[in-house]
C-alpha cells in the first residue's frame, strides 16, 4: 500500500485512487443493501424512515466504523458520515444520496450514490490518504416521497431549516407524522450526536443512475448533469353530463371522455413539436362514473410537463392552459396548476470538474439535464453542486427490473473519486 | 258507470277507456312506489330480489286484489297479475316492465310500465269492462342487472326456459345466488301459485320512459319503438412500457395513454361521421399504474357501440377492429369483442297499433329505435311485441334526477290502454 507521502504529483495521487476503486466491493455492497426490503421480483421496497430504512443506515455505519469517521444525525432524519480532514475547520466536501426506495423500486436508485461515496472513502482508507478538507457522506431522508409526500424532504429541509415544522407535520397513510418517524429513527440510532440543519458545505456532488435511456442510447458512460429541469404540473377537470350510452345521440351528449381525447390529442401534437427536451406525461387519469354503458360525466387527469429551459417551460405551460380554454364548449374545462418549479442550472465548477475527470479517464460522456428531481436540486441552494449519471438498463427505474452494468457503476465511482479528491484537496 | 253492454261501437268503448284513465291515480301510485328504497336525493335504490323489491310486489298485488285477478310466480322470480278474460282458454295479452332500479336510479324507469298497466286494469274495472282475452301484467325480475349481472334476467329466462340453471347459478357481490334470492322471493310470496316459465302470450306491449332526449327534443309525446338497436361491446387493451415521466424522452416512450388518445380520436371521428343513429361510448377507462409521474404502461377501456341497423353495426364494429390494428406500433393493441347482440326489429303489428292509437288521440308521435335494452327484446322471441315510449326530462335516466311530465305519462297510458284493449278484444 502506498502512503500519501510516496506519491509525488497530483496526477499520480488521482490515478492511484481511481485505479484502487474496487468494483467488486461496490457491487457486493449494493447487493447486500438490496436484501433489506427485498421483493419477490428482485426489487426493493424500503419506504422512508421505516424500520428497514433505519436498519440499512446502521449497516452503512458499521461498514465504515473506523477512528477517522464521525456520525451525525439532524432534526429531519438525515445521516452524515464525516471523514476527518487535515484541516478540520474547513467546510466539508459532501457526496451522498438516499437509501429509501419506491414500494416496487430497484436496487440502484439512490443506493448507488451512497455506496459509490462509501467506495471512495474505503479507497482513500486503503491508500491511507488524507484530504485537506473533511469529506462527508450524506444519507438524505425521504427522497422518494412515497410514504411522506413530497420527496427530497431531508435535503430540502437541510437547505431551508426554517421549513422544519412544515415537514414534521406531514403524515403517512397511517397518520404517523414525520416527527414521529424521525423520533423513532433517532431512538434507533441513539448515541449518535445531533447536528444543526444547514451546516456549511464547500461543494456537493452526487452520483446516480440516469433513470432514463439517453446515456444508453448514445453509448455514453458518464452523464455530466447540467442541471435539473423545471416542471409545471396541472390537474385538468372536464365536466360534462352523465347519460345513457344506448339512448343519447352524439348531438345531445356532453361527453367528458370525448372532450378529454380531443384536448389531449392537441396537447400531444403540441408537445411532439416542442423538441426532444420536452417531457409531457399524462399518467393519472380518472373517468366518472367509469361504467361502460354510461357516457362519462367527468374526467380528471394530471399533466406532468418538464423542460430544462425556463422560457420553454413557461411557454408550453401557458399553451396547456390556452388549449384547455380552446376546448371548452360542450363540457367545461378547468386547469389547476399544482406546481411550477423552475429549472435549476448547476454552476459550471462541478460540471467542469466531472467533464475533465471523465475525459482523463477516457470515458464516453455526455452533458444532459436531469429529468428526475434529486437531492442535488436542494444542495444547489447551499453550495456549488454537480451530479454524475451512469446508464441504467433500458432507462428503466422506479421498477423492480431496474438494473445497471458493473462497469458503468465502476466508471461513475472513479469520476466521483477524482472530483471529491480534487475538491477536498482544494485543487480544482 | 257504463257497463260494456251499454257501449255500442268499438270506438265508443275505446274512447270511454282512454277518457277514464286517471292520471292523478297513476302519479300517486308512482310516488307511493318510490317510497320503497327512496334515496336522500329523490331517487330510488331498489336492487333486484331484495326485501324492498319483494315488498313492492306485494304492495302491487294488494292494490289490485279483486276477485277477477289471479297471481302467479315462476322459477326465475317473475310475478304475473292476470285479469280474467271472457274466453279464458285464449292466450293472454301481456303488458308490464320491472320494479327494480339502479343503485342510484329514478322513480320511473320500469315502474312506469308496470303502473301504467295497473292503471289500465283499474280503468277497465272502473268501467266494469271485460275483454275476450285475459290480460296479464308482468313484473319481470332483475331487469337492471346491477345486483345480478346481466340484466333482463326474468324475461330472458321466460323466453328461453332451458337457460334457467345458468341464471340460477349467478351470484351477487355477497355470493348470494339467484337461486337463493328467488327462493326468498317465493317464501315472501308464499301461497302464490307457481306457473311454468314460457307460458304462451298472444302479444306483449310495454310502456317505458325513453331514457334519452329524442322525444323531448322533437316535441313528441309518444315514441313508437321500431325495435331495439344492436350492440357490439369491445374491451381494448393497450400495452406499452412504464417509464419515468421526467427522464424518458418522447422518442423512447411506449406510452399507452398517448396511443389510446390517438386511437380514440380516430374512433370518435369515424363515429361522428356515421350518422345520428350511431351510439359510440367509451365509458370505462383504466390507466396503469395511474401515477402522475409515470408514463402509463397499460390502458384498458371498453367500447359500447350500438346501431339499429345490422349492416351498419357490423361495418362500424369491423372498423373499430381495423383502427386498433392500424394504431398498433409502439404499443400493442388487443381488441376483445365482449358481446355482439344483433338489432331487434319489432314486427309491424304492434308498432302500427301504437301509431294508430297515438294518431286517434292526436298525440305528437315519432318512430324511433330503443337505445336501451328492455324486457321487450326477450318477449319479441315469444310473440308480437311493441313498446310505447314517453319523454323523460332532459333525457336523463339511471339517475336520481330522472323525471317525467304527468301529461306525458298520462298520454302513454292512454295509448297503452287502447292497444291492450284492441288486442284483448281481437280487434286490431
Question: How far apart, in whole angstroms, are the C-alpha atoms of residue A105 and residue A398?
Answer: 5
Chains A & B: contacts with CB separation below 8 Å = 207
Q: Is there a binding annotation on residue A398?
A: yes
Helix, strand, coil tally for chain B in percent (to 5): 35, 25, 40
Supply A63's cell numbers.
Answer: 461498514
Q: Is the pLDDT of residue A85 over 90?
A: yes
Nearest residue of A to residue B258, measured between CA atoms: A268
In tens, the pLDDT along B94-149 reads 999 999 998 889 999 999 999 999 999 999 999 999 999 999 999 999 999 888 98
Q: Which of A247, A293, A331 to mutate to test the interface with B (most CBs of B within 10 A)?
A: A247
Q: CB distance B250–A278 less than 8 Å? A: yes
Q: Is there a binding annotation on residue B98?
A: yes
Question: How far apart, in whole angstroms, are the C-alpha atoms of residue B158 and residue A237?
Answer: 45
Question: Does residue B108 contact residue B372 with C-beta atoms inside 8 Å?
Answer: no
Q: Is the pLDDT of residue B229 over 50?
A: yes
Residue A87 backbone class (left: φ over 0; alpha: ψ -120 to 50; beta: rest): beta
Q: Is the pLDDT of residue A353 over 90?
A: yes
Distance from CA of B426 to the nearest CA of A (A): 33
Q: Average pLDDT of A131-150?
A: 94
Q: Average pLDDT of A395-415?
A: 94
**pLDDT confidence band for B428 (50 / 70 / 90):** low
In tens, the pLDDT along A51-69 reads 999 999 999 999 999 999 9
Q: CB distance A290–B285 less than 8 Å? A: yes
Q: Residue B314 belongs to what H/E stretch?
A: helix B310-327
Residue A369 backbone class (left: φ over 0; alpha: ψ -120 to 50; beta: rest): beta
**pLDDT confidence band for B2 (50 / 70 / 90):** very low
What 3-state DSSP class applies to A333? Answer: strand
At residue A116, φ and ψ (nearest 5 deg) are: -65, -40
What's the 3-state SS for B319-371?
HHHHHHHHHCCCCEEEEEEEEEECCEECCCHHHHHHHHHHHHCCCCEEEEEEC
Q: Is the pLDDT of residue A244 over 60?
A: yes
Q: Average pLDDT of A386-412?
A: 94
Question: How far apart, in whole angstroms, are the C-alpha atoms of residue B171 and residue B164?
Answer: 14
Cα of B112 vs its chain's centroid, Å: 11
Q: Map grid coordinates 345520428 to a residue.
A: B276
Q: Average pLDDT of B375-401?
A: 94
- Spatial neighbors of B75 by CB under 8 A, at least 6 apart, are B157, B164, B182, B194, B196, B197
> Which whole-number Å values give the CA distances from A243 to A21, B107, B213, B283, B368, in the listed order?
66, 17, 10, 10, 18
Supply A56's cell numbers.
Answer: 440499512
**pLDDT confidence band for A428 (50 / 70 / 90):** low
Q: CB distance A283–B287 less than 8 Å? A: yes
Chain A residues whose CB is inside 8 A of the B269 CB are none
Per-residue pLDDT at A194:
98
**pLDDT confidence band for B7 (50 / 70 / 90):** low
Chain B residues whose CB is inside 8 A of the A229 CB are 246
Q: Is the pLDDT of residue B1 over 70?
A: no
Q: CB distance A231–B246 less than 8 Å? A: yes
> For B397, which of A244, A271, A282 is closest by C-beta distance?
A244
Pick the closest to residue A287 from A251, A257, A250 (CA basis): A257
Q: Is the pLDDT of residue B13 over 60?
A: yes
Chain B residues whose CB is inside 8 A of the A373 CB are 246
> Torsion over CA of B271, B274, B277 and B278, rounded to 10 degrees?
-30
Q: Which of B292, B304, B323, B377 to mutate to test the interface with A (most CBs of A within 10 A)?
A: B292
Nearest residue of A to residue B398, measured between CA atoms: A244
What 3-state DSSP class applies to B288? Answer: strand
Per-residue pLDDT at A289:
86
Chain B residues whose CB is inside 8 A of the A251 CB are 276
ipTM: 0.79
Domains and CATH numbers, chain B: 4-228+343-424 (3.40.630.10), 230-341 (3.30.70.360)
Q: Is there a binding annotation on residue A359?
A: no
Pick the closest to residue B111 from B194, B28, B223 (CA basis): B28
In tens, the pLDDT along B335-373 reads 999 889 899 999 999 999 999 999 999 999 999 999 889
Chain B residues whose CB is inside 8 A of the A339 CB are none
Per-residue pLDDT at A8:
67
Q: Which of A241, A244, A279, A343 to mutate to test the interface with B (most CBs of B within 10 A)?
A: A244
Q: CB distance B248–A213 less than 8 Å? A: yes
Q: Residue B209 belongs to what H/E stretch?
A: strand B203-209
> For B371, which of A213, A244, A372 is closest by C-beta distance?
A244
Q: At what angle do helices B10-20 and B111-126 cross, to 10 degrees?
A: 120
In tens, the pLDDT along B267-300 reads 999 999 999 899 999 999 999 988 888 899 999 9
Q: Is the pLDDT of residue A86 over 50?
A: yes
Amino acid at each position: 500500500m502506498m502512503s500519501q507521502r510516496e506519491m509525488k504529483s497530483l496526477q499520480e495521487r488521482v490515478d492511484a485512487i481511481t485505479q484502487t476503486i474496487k468494483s467488486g466491493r461496490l457491487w457486493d455492497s449494493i447487493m447486500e443493501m438490496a436484501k433489506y426490503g427485498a421483493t419477490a421480483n428482485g426489487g426493493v421496497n424500503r419506504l422512508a424512515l421505516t424500520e428497514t430504512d433505519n436498519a440499512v443506515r446502521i449497516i452503512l455505519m458499521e461498514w465504515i466504523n473506523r477512528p477517522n469517521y464521525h456520525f451525525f444525525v439532524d432534526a429531519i432524519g438525515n445521516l452524515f458520515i464525516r471523514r476527518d480532514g487535515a484541516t478540520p475547520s474547513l467546510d466539508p466536501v459532501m457526496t451522498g444520496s438516499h437509501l429509501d426506495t419506491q414500494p416496487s423500486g430497484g436496487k440502484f436508485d439512490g443506493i448507488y450514490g451512497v455506496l459509490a461515496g462509501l467506495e471512495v472513502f474505503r479507497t482513500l482508507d486503503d491508500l491511507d490518504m488524507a484530504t485537506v478538507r473533511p469529506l462527508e457522506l450524506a444519507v438524505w431522508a425521504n427522497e422518494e416521497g412515497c410514504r411522506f409526500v413530497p420527496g427530497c424532504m431531508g435535503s430540502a429541509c437541510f437547505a431551508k431549516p426554517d421549513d422544519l415544522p412544515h415537514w414534521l407535520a406531514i403524515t403517512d397513510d397511517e397518520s404517523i407524522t414525520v416527527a414521529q418517524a424521525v423520533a423513532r429513527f433517532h431512538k434507533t440510532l441513539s448515541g449518535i450526536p445531533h447536528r444543526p440543519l444547514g451546516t456549511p458545505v464547500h461543494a456537493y456532488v452526487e452520483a446516480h443512475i440516469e433513470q432514463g435511456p439517453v446515456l444508453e442510447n448514445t453509448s455514453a458512460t458518464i452523464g455530466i448533469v447540467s442541471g435539473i429541469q423545471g416542471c409545471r404540473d396541472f390537474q385538468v377537470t372536464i365536466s360534462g353530463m352523465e347519460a345513457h350510452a344506448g339512448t343519447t345521440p352524439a348531438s345531445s351528449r356532453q361527453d367528458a371522455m370525448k372532450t378529454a381525447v380531443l384536448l389531449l390529442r392537441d396537447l400531444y401534437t403540441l408537445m411532439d413539436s416542442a423538441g426532444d427536451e420536452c417531457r409531457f406525461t399524462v399518467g393519472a387519469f380518472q373517468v366518472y362514473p367509469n361504467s361502460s354503458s354510461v357516457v362519462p360525466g367527468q374526467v380528471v387527469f394530471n399533466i406532468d410537463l418538464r423542460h430544462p429551459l425556463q422560457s420553454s417551460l413557461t411557454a408550453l405551460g401557458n399553451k396547456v392552459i390556452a388549449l384547455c380554454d380552446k376546448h371548452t364548449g360542450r363540457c367545461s374545462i378547468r386547469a389547476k396548476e399544482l406546481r411550477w418549479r423552475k429549472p435549476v442550472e448547476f454552476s459550471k465548477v462541478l460540471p467542469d470538474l466531472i467533464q475533465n475527470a471523465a475525459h482523463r479517464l477516457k470515458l464516453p460522456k455526455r452533458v444532459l439535464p436531469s429529468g428526475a428531481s434529486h437531492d442535488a436540486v436542494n444542495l444547489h441552494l447551499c453550495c456549488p453542486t454537480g451530479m454524475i449519471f451512469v446508464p441504467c438498463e433500458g432507462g428503466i427505474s422506479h421498477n423492480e427490473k431496474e438494473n445497471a452494468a458493473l462497469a458503468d457503476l465502476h466508471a461513475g465511482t472513479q469520476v466521483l473519486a477524482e472530483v471529491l479528491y480534487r475538491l477536498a484537496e482544494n485543487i480544482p
